[in-house]
Structure 1
Amino acid sequence: MRDGYIRIAAAAPAVEVADCSGNAQRIMEFIKKSDSEGVKLLVLPELCITGYTCGDLFNQKTLLDAAENALAEIIRYSAGFDTLTLVGLPVRYGDRLYNCAAAVHKGRLLGVVPKSHIPNNNEFYEARHFASGKGVSGTVSIAGFEVPFGGDLIFECEEVPTFRVGAEICEDMWVPTPPSGRLAQAGAVIIANLSASTYVTGKDNYRTALVTSQSGRCISGYVFSSCGEGESSTDLVFSGHLMIAENGKILSQSRREKDYITADVDTAMLCAERQKSTAFISDSDVLETRRIKFSCNIEHYAPLRRPINKHPFVPSSGERYRERCSEVFDIQCAGLAKRLKFTHATSAVVAVSGGLDSTLTLLVTARAIKKYSLKCKLIAITMPGPGTTGRTKGNAVALCESLGAELREIPIGDAVKLHLSDIGHRGELDTAFENVQARERTQIAMSIANMEGGLVIGTGDMSEMALGFTTYNGDHMSMYGVNAGVPKTLVRHLIKYVADENAENKKLHDTLYDILNTPVSPELLPAKDGEIAQKTEQIVGPYELHDFFLYYFLRYGFEPLKILRLAIQAFDGDYTEEEIKNLLKMFIKRFFMSQYKRSCIPDGPKVGSVALSPRGDWRMPSDACVNEWLKQLN
């Protein structure tokens, strides 16, 4: 439970219809199993103590007494365990019968939540037996406890304030305004749904979509547990569908083949997301709830039971991969086309080096001109200097030829020497030596753009801006930065996507793949034996790690230790813990020190959920102190 992670389980015990005592035994086995795995919330199916398919037996006092006795047995058994368990059973309240979820923890009954929406159509006829719990609020006496009763209950952990649970039952999720929405606005961070959903063709996909969507709309964890094996098959088969979702994503699920799943839900992240969302600003319509406290042990889950993507900016494989790459490419092209049209530009100027970033910029610019039928010529300038190698220059030339760009070669060696001489530089291979080349290239590109009535299209990417690995007023500057929202790990995949989509153009395809296989370098130091002497990832470290840090630092505002623990698990076997820790320190230091560069970056399109524009997503003082962030790692 460190860092706000809560281990959750959904289970579908095999039931015997109307065998309350036997069903209780199977439920207790799952409580024991869950506790042994550090599970803090176990969600069981609707009416799992009796079975959902009891029909008119629900009108029998014998069954209702047996269900209450079974609940009492489960409560007594739970005394030795730390798991909050939500179990389904019929409950008598006043003169009516309700379909309920009972919250059991450490030998106590905490409260009972009745189902609000009672289905009474097609295969369902619950209104024959159960009343709606909508608007009902009071206390109920059951199994030797007098506890709160109603749909306004939120169960809150004293040790982990972000661990707050609300419950709804089956049909409640399927209505236009589910109770979970109001529970979430009132503070519930995890929604439990005890269900008895039927198994019919096509329904499982719709169910998954509902759970995914509701967890996203509520910015919550959502646990769905539906009954399966053992329910009567007189007319129906039940799904046994189990799902655990978090903010629009399925963390774990099973359809009948398994009766138990677990996942670690990040409640701290969910609360941080809500803090930024205007949807969770209090208003007069927020549900008034009763908070019921419970206490549980703090545990550290290692490893976490949840997917941790090494490359969070990179789309998943298959059709989704192609779709996402195409989408990002289209956003870049649309933004650039608008700027070129608005400024009546007659040319688009790109400084090409044969590296990743300028390659993507040239690809985007060429496509934007073609797609939007712009009356604008594409001018590519290659400006070899002291560090330029034959490989990168050759790739730059081949790329321009493949795209039909007008290529101009302007060597900068003499201009650099003259400038260094003018300022009294003594020839050391220092920062001034490196940066004068970047600024000379920018100056040339800007001047040619002026001559040709065009714009300089920037090449710098978001990862470089995060680290400040860019020359101020050199490659840092342009007239429109198409890669402003694209991190380095995604740059690679966008180029690969274009290469694969153009396999019939062998020259373009092969050139792009050679560029992908070339070490990342600014080429600002003299080459050694014709090979690249300056490799970026030997200086600042692997971009895949920096992009990982960037994503969790910006997207969720995670603290350094939490990012470190996630990175150690995600990159297990790739880097040592010490390497990851040192690189995270470097990332944080460089990120804070480089804000002054980001405060004046050119316009450029946002393409994903993380962006660094000082006019939009990221507003930070240029002289903020980094000490509080480094303290954790030191």
Structure 2
Amino acid sequence: MGHPVILATCSLNQWALDFEGNKERILQSIVEAKQRGAKLRVGPELEIPGYGCFDHFLEGDTVLHSWEILCQLLTDEKTRGILCDVGMPILHRSTLYNCRVLFLDGRIVMIRPKMWMANDGNYRELRYFTPWSRRGELDDHILPRMVAAATGQESVPFGDAVVSTRDSVVGVELCEELFTPNSPHIAMGLDGVEIFINPSASHHELRKLHRRVDLIREATLKLGGIYLYANQQGCDGDRLYYDGCPLIACNGNIVAQGSQFSLDDVQVVTATIDLDDVRAARASKSRGMQAAMGNGTIRAGKGFERIRVPFDLGVRQEWTDDTALQSTKPIETRYHTPEEEIALGPACWLWDYLRRSRTQGYFIPLSGGIDSCATSVIVFSMCRLVVKACTGPNPNEQVLADVRRICGESSTWVPQRPQEVSNKIFVTCYMGTENSSGETRQRAKELAEAIGSYHVDLNMDIVVSAIVSLFVLVTNKKPQFKVHGGTAAENLALQNIQARLRMLLAYMFAQLVPWVRGQLGGLLVLGSANVDESLRGYLTKYDCSSADINPIGGISKTDLKRFIAYAQTSFSLPVLGDFLNATPTAELEPITNEYVQADEADMGMTYDELSVFGRLRKVDKCGPYSMFTKLVHEWGDRLSPPEIAEKVKRFFFEYARNRHKMTTLTPSYHAESYSPDDNRFDLRPFLYPSRFPLQFKKIDELAAKIPDRSKAAKTG
């Protein structure tokens, strides 16, 4: 190797406003990087305060405490001898910026503010930060007195520049900037930057990792260069799970990759790379001509300002067989299947929520249906991860300490089976009525036995009867179910009584079951409404879907079924086959020989259709009319234009009239791009003209003109 460098990037399980804990995790990652010989360490976005501070970024305290922690990092001997990159909010000339601070040996090298903000979907960075719009320009940033005293510097460079060491050039591309069309790495690479660092806070979403990896590979494939991607990991206080997966790429190849889902608070990834390989990859004459011409977007073609540092990133090597460094070889990128993502992402999120909320476990109303089944299996998956982390040759001491505290066990206890953990922290409860079937009750019991949960089986008819009796006493009118001759209003009211009472009982049992078992504390109630039911509004407001948190609220019914099929084999839970074969039903109406309540019949659409509606509405940004025009092409071979029109109108009518339910939706793990979560991800009105007079009229007019292709398909 001509010019070897060892570089480190990491994922950290940071927690919003946990300044001391965040500092310790940053220090641990720096120490690990140095132990592996790295001379450059990259960390996640806003890692000092934690990314998910939201409106706390507007508080002066957050900025102040970030500077205090930075001072401690600057003066800590552990940070000497390595170029460190850390993230924090900084107030510059009375304007708040999302910044990277690069420092070496107790002195700040430069501060790089973020230029392109993530401001859609789950992100609202423009609410807190101002983007740095002066490409290729620098200011002097006057340091706070405590920082100046620690570093001996009165001011430091602030702006869009790169760091020039004695043997290479390092440039920052901050999270969202990678995803923009004119990414900074293009201009930096043409200006000679060889090492790109990307500190990120990117959340998990099903099937999303491919895009991230493809962009990183592409960034170095055309330009040549080394790309270090760092990411936050874990639940830092909200609906998102940041999925880690730190990466190092070189010349279009991934050479190092960390795990996407892990209970480790600190994960450091390193690679040894020859800078000569980067220079060889840039030997193309067309690339050289573009570089020589300059880039008009930065300092009128003069290139980036270089902050010079008298420091070598390269590693001195002795040319002997025993000590000669070897370049890290390219690897195959590891991707999880969607089923594995569901098994791991929400499970890690639940673990972080449990240990950081200081509660004693989880409670779920287990109905015998697939949604509460999937939620319970995710909790079981969490228990599997905990046991795996606690056993083996290198047990995770943090996980061990947390699980002992939560379970109330001694400092020598080590769980050996996931069922052992499940029985201590997970309570399942079947809340039956006269409308419940023996099949669902038996399925719930068998699942609880298989996963080891503490199971309660009760019948709540006496409570339902008391509510109905009170209504009869007050009004002298007794409501009846539809199958007994009641009106639609009576039928719905009687169903909702059962659903809402389940919520009340869930919270009572969650608070008191630990007391019954001789334990301290209470349990968090888990919801189990999937993303499609929420989208359609097929749930009762303040029923048992109203809970503390919901691990499947951003996952489609289709994906949940695939997950259950995966878990049946991978988790050795044969009972899950019974859930897959059962017809989804709320069991809120009486069962007769002629009628059994079924979810898809009640909704007037299938779960697969709901997924299509959801993606068109959110991802493709379709209103009723444009959705119809798209579906005429997609579904026209099996449905007539009027049939498609009726389905689209039915969906938008039900979506609109139930939209108010989203304002009270249980905070859910975000996993799907069409989540209807009103609180963060889907900012839309909740009072609609639910019959959409103009839109539906145009749909009907167009449907009458379009030829019916489904007839030919059916006769063929």
TM-score (norm. length: structure 1)? 0.48
Larger radius of gyration: 1
Q: TM-score, normalised by structure 2?
A: 0.43
